[in-house]
Structure 1
């Protein structure tokens, strides 16, 4: 009898198993893969909140020892406007890293085993065991040679990805679900200069991206709306990606031509959903409970943060500080509070809609502001909540940094006058300004509305 069975031994599962084992609980960690082996199709980026967790857990030195370079700035170029800003710090951590995924998986898996978790690889879960009240009490499965596996635990955690077997067996419902919004091509390039920056571009319905990663390599890719995703060969993908950079950053496009791709093209797309993440005797972690478009490269960061939340809740229930079911319900509430705002922001970002003139004027104003540029990239990196960034107070402060004169266009000049020029005893003018901003800022304005 185990305290916890964790199904899925990669980012979320290994982290959850490690934390519960460190707390003194008996943990069984199962995965259908045989380690080492398998290669996750991921863009690898870990934002500062994820790096903070690795630091807290004593694993950051192992990550940096792989030679993966720190990333300190994120940027966006849209049409003629470019924003590049240093990442804000969270509890003293202001760097991102993009490690090779298999190395990060192994660091976490080794830490879980070292903490006392029992790892069984090559095991596929087929059924969940429940008692007469419907509480999950264990799993049934089989090894790759069809040897039956039956184990019991006080809680079963599904950390087995967006197509989670555990979630399917539980019929855990999805909510706020949206279909695939875009598809991406990405690969690794050798010979590009490393300058510690994440570059993203938005132009003509394309989202290009690049940043330094492991072993002196650079990730290079582009996301396209599903209807525009037509490349069928590596040569097609080379042309598609490099031509996207031709449109937004010709200098970088020439660098791509002068250097070389050193890995196969990877292709990815995911649906967007939140899923019920707890019930009697069970919980879901990572992509099993919540999957969002990879356009903001937040999957690993979310997996690490979610594992910390879940492990704390399970530990509270197993130790008797509160009933386990209440602890898991608290985890579900905390999980949703943590991710829902960024989920909606990512979903809007993933439509790859071109920015309007008003949106471009606001992005340009962020360059002039001492705080808004930093907070904008912090929002992309899951450090600043979208509702906080797009609050009336934040937007009103940003109005002070709009280009002087006629540059922002008559709509934003009127908004600035209503919010800043009308006497303060006419608060209705400010409300009118807010409505005009919300109407003309596309997805950005929805938060202000």
Structure 2
């Protein structure tokens, strides 16, 4: 089936997935609240508030596990960048619910026992085993949250940040033990205990399946290895891979993998790269610019090297196309997923490629050949990042509106450096392109 013949979806996948996910959250919040009140109140308002916020904190923690599990159904419809953003939002909710649980519980028992707050806290730690576990779990969550702050994250390597985040799983185990051991709602077992165990099992199982079972199974099945390493320019290189049964790999143009090249000095590094050509069932190709130690060393990879690929990930695909025409806006090496999408996107396509000079336009000859074959238009905009044309910034609202007069009737896919992507999205808002027709994905990694 040619791209122009592919039927467009009638239901927006992202909306469907979001509604389903929020409905599951609402149902579990309701169930947790009902079971809490069914277990009976303590007679002390502070203690009851502390217990309830603790339950909500545990529930939020299980949903955080699902958000970082990279489950295919959610990832393909919502995208890893949005799931990462949701993960950050729920992390704030988790922190405040646990703080409220700690404060209200300690103050409530201090009031009940007629003790000072510090004395009560010391008594709880020394006399109740589950409380000490909870304090350690809380400290680990604060540690993980602290290293995720942007000003800290920017000063830390991904590998170090990832290793510290693994402590979050220890916090999950300790938190579950604390709630089951001391939670009044679970003291008598029954429905509440069974329900809570199922919630936590679902969260942990999601991580195990999404982060361990699926990647291992897919790599054992496909057995990827490098068949060619081709320099595209002085700074960019393409890596071609083949494997078994690639025609059965559930991958779409526009998606990316976390690639591990299994050499003695690189096997432990995972780097996100998009496919730079639509999957054809025989080979996979990535194209990367030398922007760091990982991508700089791609040029030295040898033919025959085995590859471990986690994915595919991302919702930056033609699955989300709503209109019969599309605009692709690329900046720099952000052209790679759009080059792949150019093969699969439906209808008439305009590609706008923003680079400093035409020599920096990676893959341009094959893009022009592909565009010519399918009747697409390609515009290469050159100049420094602050360069302006006769109608203002090259990706500003006036310039884009004149370059693509029917832009409001197109799906717009944007990929490039953060500054360029943000500026383009602002321009699209000013032009009045409906939000549901704008698609952009940033490679934000979670634990």
Question: TM-score scaled to structure 1, two decimals?
Answer: 0.28
> Taking CA–CA contacts closer than 8 Å with sequence separation of 6 or more, which of the two structures ends up with the larger relative contact order?
1
Rg (Cα) greater in structure: 2
Question: Higher strand proportion, which one?
Answer: 1
> What TM-score, normalized to structure 2?
0.28
